[in-house]
Amino acid sequence: MEFLAFIGSAMLFATFALTVLFILVMVSSRLSMLILLVVPLLAVIILPGTTLAFLSYRHFLFADGLVPVNNFHILVTVWSTLLGIIIYTEFLTWYLKSGKKKLAGSQKNRSPAQIRGMLNRSVLKAKEILAKRG
């Protein structure tokens, strides 16, 4: 019976995580963040007894029975992992967008001769620095 409860819990958490990741990739990171937070809260509000019984189900014990691992602990692990992924993708998207704007703005009205001159100056500067350091 314990094995079936573990399989059922794992399937539920995997479905939840895959749904959030699917929404993150296909729709939006803000919607996936909203679903990540709202679905467990709605489950607690709509079915409090069932949800609390599910979240408090103990799978195993660590440290000679001193530290229980419940479904709530697994949910917090899934939450933190998915929040990290969502925040990382938001930061990466922002960084890539701001980098392209700066790059496009910095080389907007330059001729090829100006760009070659800048590269030559950069190469000469690098050679000077390397010559000084030996």
pLDDT at 102: 60
Average the pLDDT over 102-110 and give the result: 60
Show me where the domains of the chain are located.
2-109
Q: Which residue has the higher pLDDT, 69 or 81?
A: 81
Out of 17-21, 45-49, 77-81, 110-114, least confident range: 110-114
Q: Which residue has the higher pLDDT, 61 or 103?
A: 61
pLDDT at 38: 93
Instruction: Return all residues near 59 (Cβ < 8 A) that are at least 6 apart.
Output: 2, 5, 6, 9, 69, 70, 71, 74
State yes or no: pLDDT of 105 exceeds 60. no
Out of 24-28, 59-63, 95-99, 106-110, least confident range: 106-110
The pLDDT tens digits for 8-59 are 888 988 999 999 999 999 998 899 999 999 998 999 999 999 888 888 888 8
- For the entire predicted model, the pTM comes to 0.65
Distance CA 71, CA 93 (A): 33
Which burial class, exposed, middle or buried, applies to 36 when counting CB atoms under 10 A from its CB (0-12, 13-18, 19+)?
buried
